């Protein structure tokens, strides 16, 4: 029998279980481009209500959802303010610039206690020399910062400043339910302070594909046009929406992912040469600095492979491990044992 792989690369690697596959096979379907897929309509209504917004639209990916938000909020030649480590800036292939024709304007350490003051200092006056800023993007939780969380009052402060400066605020909430779980607050405490929000079904919630973009009815109406333009208008996708509806029922299980991430981080922190940043991990992402081992992240990961443990490089000496639905306590023990075996 083949030994199970402990895949800690991302929470995107989860596989749909039997219940989800059965729900997909039973799904009511219709042509979603015509608005006739009942499963999609239920999912979009549910998502809008969860986010505290008027409407929502189902999209194939979070990247498409974020791009649709940028396109809807801005016009060519305008500027989008965001953190240089944000997913939109770092991982989305320059789509906002290529397709949206906007200038991405990074503000360092935007998601830190000093972030609001950094933003105030970086804001430029209304001047013909500058691309006019029209959109501020935040990310909660923040992937490259180790799953860190912006609290409701912090987001509220950003939103207040954005409104004062005439900026819309889009929230990349790919893992927004992880943030709410970590804070023990309703997710609407985090989504009240934004004009639009995107969240993923295909990460910690375990669906095979899909994200939702939510906002006002007018905003979503325009965003649907951009979904069509980007090739995201799909047909009988109730089979995917059925998975999404079941995924939303799994939100409480994120607490187990956080518990296991903490268990993993505590075990790794007992190895003197390793540094865990941040410690303790606030959600389900564990960031490991291997420089103290004199071992690059690529070398560290390759040495884990014979033990059936997978992780991902986040920098020359930075490794990311992510807990998820398909990781249990035994997997955490196996991962810790493997790391201890490769450490001198």
Distance CA 168, CA 165 (A): 9
- Specify if 277 maps to a domain: yes
Number of domains in the chain: 2
Together in a domain, 203 and 315: no
What average pLDDT score do residues 298-327 get? 97
What average pLDDT score do residues 61-83 get? 98
What average pLDDT score do residues 322-338 get? 97
Distance CA 86, CA 176 (A): 14
Measured over all CA atoms, what is the biggest interatomic distance in the chain, rounded to whole angstroms?
Answer: 67
Together in a domain, 110 and 237: yes
- Specify if 92 maps to a domain: yes
pTM of the model: 0.96
- Specify if 7 maps to a domain: no
Together in a domain, 81 and 135: yes
Together in a domain, 83 and 189: yes
- Specify if 228 maps to a domain: yes
CATH number at residue 269: 3.90.1150.10
Last residue of a domain, one of 224, 248, 272: 248
Q: Please give the radius of gyration of the chain, using alpha carbons only, rounded to the nearest integer.
A: 20
Strand 312-315 relative to strand 275-276: parallel, antiparallel, unpaired?
unpaired
Question: Helix, strand or coil for residue 111?
Answer: coil
Question: Helix, strand or coil for residue 335?
Answer: helix
Together in a domain, 229 and 312: no
- Specify if 3 maps to a domain: no
What residues have CB less than 8 Å from 314, skipping those under 6 apart? 144, 287, 297, 320
- Specify if 8 maps to a domain: no
Together in a domain, 270 and 227: no
Q: pLDDT tens digits for 10-68?
A: 999 999 999 999 999 999 999 999 999 999 999 999 999 999 999 999 999 999 999 99
DSSP 8-state class, residue 288: E
Q: What percent of the chain has pLDDT over 90?
A: 98
Together in a domain, 224 and 117: yes
Together in a domain, 56 and 166: yes
What are the C-alpha distances in Å from 284 to residues 1, 101, 149, 227, 278?
Answer: 30, 34, 11, 30, 12
Residue 2: predicted pLDDT: 54
CATH number at residue 170: 3.40.640.10
Using the predicted structure, report yes or no on whether residue 268 has a pLDDT greater than 80: yes
Closest CA to 47 of 36, 59, 37: 59
Residue 85's domain comprises: 18-248
Last residue of a domain, one of 226, 248, 270: 248
Q: pLDDT tens digits for 184-213?
A: 999 999 999 999 999 999 999 999 999 999
Placement of tokens 């500027």 in the chain: 79
DSSP 8-state class, residue 136: E
What are the C-alpha distances in Å from 11 to residues 25, 178, 201, 207, 237?
Answer: 24, 12, 11, 10, 23
């Amino acid at each position: 029998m083949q030994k199970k792989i402990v895949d800690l690369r991302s929470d995107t690697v989860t596989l749909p279980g039997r219940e989800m596959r059965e729900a997909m096979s039973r799904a009511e379907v219709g042509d979603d481009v015509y608005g006739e897929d009942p499963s999609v309509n239920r999912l979009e209504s549910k998502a809008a209500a969860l986010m505290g917004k008027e409407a929502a639209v189902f999209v194939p990916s979070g990247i498409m959802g974020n791009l649709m938000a940028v396109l809807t909020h801005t016009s060519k030649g305008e500027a989008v303010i965001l953190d240089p480590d944000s997913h939109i800036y770092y991982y989305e292939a320059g789509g906002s610039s290529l397709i949206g024709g906007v200038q991405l304007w990074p503000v360092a350490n935007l998601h830190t206690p000093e972030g609001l003051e950094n933003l105030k200092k970086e804001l430029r006056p209304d001047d013909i020399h500058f691309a006019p800023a029209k959109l501020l993007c935040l990310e909660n939780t923040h992937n490259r910062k180790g799953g860190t969380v912006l609290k409701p009052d912090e987001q509220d402060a950003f939103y207040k400043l954005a409104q004062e400066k005439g900026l819309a605020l889009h929230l990349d909430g790919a893992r927004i339910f992880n943030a709410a779980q970590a804070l023990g607050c309703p997710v609407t405490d985090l989504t009240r302070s934004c004009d639009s929000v995107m969240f993923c079904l295909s990460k910690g919630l375990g669906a095979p594909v899909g994200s939702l973009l939510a906002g006002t009815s007018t905003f979503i109406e325009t965003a649907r046009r951009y979904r069509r333009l980007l090739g995201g208008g799909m047909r009988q996708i109730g089979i995917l929406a059925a998975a999404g509806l079941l995924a939303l029922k799994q939100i409480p299980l994120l607490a187990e992912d956080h518990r296991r991430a903490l268990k993993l981080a505590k075990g790794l922190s007992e190895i003197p040469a390793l540094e865990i940043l941040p410690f303790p991990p606030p959600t389900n992402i564990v960031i490991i600095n291997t420089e103290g081992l004199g071992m690059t992240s690529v070398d560290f990961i390759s040495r884990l492979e014979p033990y059936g443990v997978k992780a991902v490089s986040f920098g020359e000496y930075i490794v990311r491990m992510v807990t998820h639905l398909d990781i249990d306590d035994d997997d955490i023990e196996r991962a810790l044992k493997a790391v201890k075996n490769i450490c001198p």
